[in-house]
Amino acid sequence: MIRAVVQSEPIDLAATLAAVEGSGSGAVASFSGFVREDDGVRELALEHYPGMTEAVLHGLAEEAVARWQLHAVAVVHRVGPMAPGERIVLVATAAPHRHAALEACAFLIDRLKTDAPFWKRERREEGARWVAARDRDAGAAERWR
């Protein structure tokens, strides 16, 4: 099972994990990313290119399945305005053993940070600004190429 979704609604953690856990695997790994409450961010708004973004996420999930022989993958990413503390992304992987599930989960979050076409705009007290890509994200993704 591969589920790669971009949505404006809050992510249903329980339902997503239940679907991945229902694969009958021996191990499930997950990662949740949240809007950070530091640096005075009042809102984070994500934009994307509909159709293209979902295709990139699905392609990354397919690559993970091929590399680690996963039984299930879910990648759910939010777009639109979000407040500090809200979940932005959920990645979950299921495999026969923990090593594959953990590695695949790390691969997916590292690669989607650099490969998926999302644009982030932070709103702060002093105004709004677009968020630039980080060198450390590129370095994390590079280890998987």
Q: Where are the domains of the chain?
A: 2-142
Q: Which CATH superfamily is domain 2-142 in?
A: Molybdopterin biosynthesis MoaE subunit (3.90.1170.40)
Identify any residues that bridge with 2 across adjacent strands, giving them in sequence order.
Answer: 73
pLDDT category at 94 given cuts 50, 70, 90 is: very high
What local confidence, expressed as pLDDT, does residue 37 receive?
80
27 and 96 in contact (C-beta within 8 Å)?
A: yes
What local confidence, expressed as pLDDT, does residue 65 receive?
96
| Mean pLDDT value across residues 31-44 | 88
pLDDT at 90 over 80: yes
pLDDT at 2 over 80: yes
What local confidence, expressed as pLDDT, does residue 34 receive?
94
What local confidence, expressed as pLDDT, does residue 23 receive?
86
A 10 A CB-CB count for 26 gives: 12
Residue 34: name the closest of 109, 137, 135 by CA: 109
pLDDT at 141 over 80: no
pTM of the model: 0.90
DSSP classification of residue 22: T
Sheet containing strand 72-78, edge to edge, reads 2-7, 72-78, 87-95, 27-34
A 10 A CB-CB count for 60 gives: 24
pLDDT at 56 over 90: yes
Amino acid at 61: A
